[in-house]
Amino acid sequence: MIAINAAIWDRQPTGLGVVAREIASRVLKAGTDAAVFCSAGIEPTTAPASSAVHRVPDWARGRPGTLLGGLLRFLWTQAVLPSKLKAVGARVLLSPNHEAVFFPPCPQVVVVHDLLPLFHPQNRRKRLYFRCVFPWVLRRADAIVAVSENTKKDLIEAYGLPASKITVIYSGVDRSVFRREASGDRAPSPPYILFIGDQHPHKNLPGLIAAFAGLVQDGFPHHLVIAGRKDPRRHEELASLVRESGLEARVSFPGYVDEGSLAGLYSRADLFVLPSLYEGFGLPALEAMACGCPVAASGNSSLPEVCGTAARYFDPRDVSDMRRRIAEVLSDPQLRGRMAAEGLQQAERFRWEDAGRDYLALLTRIEKAGASR
């Protein structure tokens, strides 16, 4: 029995929640004897008869994207999930993010997306966890999955983990969802630059807004759309920056965009920009490419690895460089066309079907090894 703790998969999945959902869905569709613990529904038809989908209780869900929601989910993971794993007869557990079980009753595989709190600490709680607790969790884990070679390198350098314990499995793009829509063939009015993601400091949104202000001064007619869940701790600061820059009429914050609407938003954009100071993978950039949208991104961490030669890169700490690179793409329709074509090819390299197969193979190996002990 393979168990997957997909509790972070909630009603409005982003980044980590999307990955947990896709892994769990692929394992279930493979007909494997599995138990999935999640905060949102899986269609019963995707699960074989021997599998079970277990709901995380309402009290442990909290409000998506909030500190309280994360703490309640953490409490459920440590205090309740171990007994649930025993009850279903789990022989291996997949923890698809850093919220791993400290004392699991079976072998555990932990997925690491990034070591952001070490390099760009945003709160003391997470920084303490990643410095003092997470290394211990990873040393006890039976196997570790890194979502990029860059994350694997960070794990080895930061924690001294053996490379042989870490398997790189790239995340993917669901091409049934993320594909160029017909509406993308018609130029939107007004044209726009797109960002999709959360509002954490490492996303470098003040830098993007500053670069956009320069583009407006240069005479570009574009608007800037900053989509993603509005963080109550940071959104007003960003909105104030927009007002102070005199860009209220040119910058919009539509908030969380459901997955069914994302493809259209990507397809109609002239350019998707990911100005992050650090990324463990960079899934929105691949989603944009799959929808035929050119991508400009930071030339750091995992982004060159994931985006390859299909993107144009800039120094995220240099607003002038970001502004210049974006302007180069916006002012050259032929370049955008080439980038869109190259992006479609790059996105094809990252498929959830391949990731699901690799996860299943690793989990099966760890399960068999545990049974032979």
Cα–Cα distances in angstroms (integers) from residue 273 to residues 147, 193, 196, 297, 326, in the given order: 21, 7, 8, 6, 8
Residue-wise pLDDT for 32-76, tens only, equals: 888 998 876 555 445 555 567 888 887 776 555 556 666 887 888
Helices (H), the chain: 15-29, 67-79, 81-88, 116-119, 124-128, 134-140, 149-159, 205-217, 235-244, 259-268, 283-290, 303-307, 319-330, 333-348, 352-371
CA distances 12 to 25, 65, 142, 178, 234, Å, are 16, 9, 31, 17, 19
How far apart, in Å, are the Cα atoms of 80 and each of 21, 33, 266, 323? 21, 22, 40, 49
Q: Point out the residues of the chain with pLDDT beneath 70.
A: 10-13, 40-51, 61-70, 182-188, 371-373
In whole angstroms, give the CA distance from residue 66 to residue 102. Answer: 22
Q: Are strands 223-227 and 251-255 parallel, antiparallel or unpaired?
A: parallel
| pLDDT score at 142 | 97
271: which strand partners? 193
Name the residue with tokens 């670069």.
211
Q: What is the pLDDT of residues 262-312, one digit of tens each?
A: 999 999 999 999 999 999 999 999 999 999 999 999 999 999 999 999 999
Question: To the nearest 5 percent, what fractions of the chain are helix, strand and coil?
Answer: 50, 15, 35
Q: Which residue has the tokens 């930061």?
A: 158
Q: Do 115 and 129 meet the contact criterion of CB atoms below 8 Å apart?
A: no
Q: CA-to-CA distance for 137 and 282, rounded, in angstroms?
A: 25
Q: How far apart are CA 204 and CA 282, in angstroms?
A: 14
- Tell me which residue of 180, 194, 267 sits closest to 227, measured CA to CA: 194
Tokens of 52: 């079970």
Contact criterion met (CB below 8 Å) for 229 and 256: yes
Strand 52-55 and strand 92-95: pairing?
Answer: unpaired
Q: What pLDDT, on the 0 to 100 scale, is given for residue 42?
A: 56
Beta-bridged to residue 167, according to DSSP, are 145
Q: How far apart are the first and last CA of the chain?
A: 16
Those residues with Cβ within 8 angstroms of residue 93's Cβ, 6 or more apart along the chain or in another chain:
3, 4, 5, 85, 101, 104, 106, 107, 108, 109
Q: Which residues pair with 194 in a beta bridge?
A: 225, 272
Residue type, 59: W
> Domains (ranges, CATH) in the chain?
2-172+351-371 (3.40.50.2000), 182-348 (3.40.50.2000)
For position 121, what pLDDT does the model report? 75
Looking at residue 43, what is its pLDDT? 54
pLDDT for residue 183: 59
Buried b (16+ CB within 10 A) or exposed e, 327-361: bebbeeeeebeebbebbbebbeebbbeebbebbbe
Taking alpha carbons only, the member of 93, 182, 192, 100 closest to residue 139 is 100
**Interacting residues of 232 by C-beta distance below 8 A, sequence separation 6+:** none
- pTM to 2 decimals? 0.90
What is residue 44's predicted lDDT score, i.e. its pLDDT?
47
The CA-based angle 196-197-203, given to 5 degrees, is 115
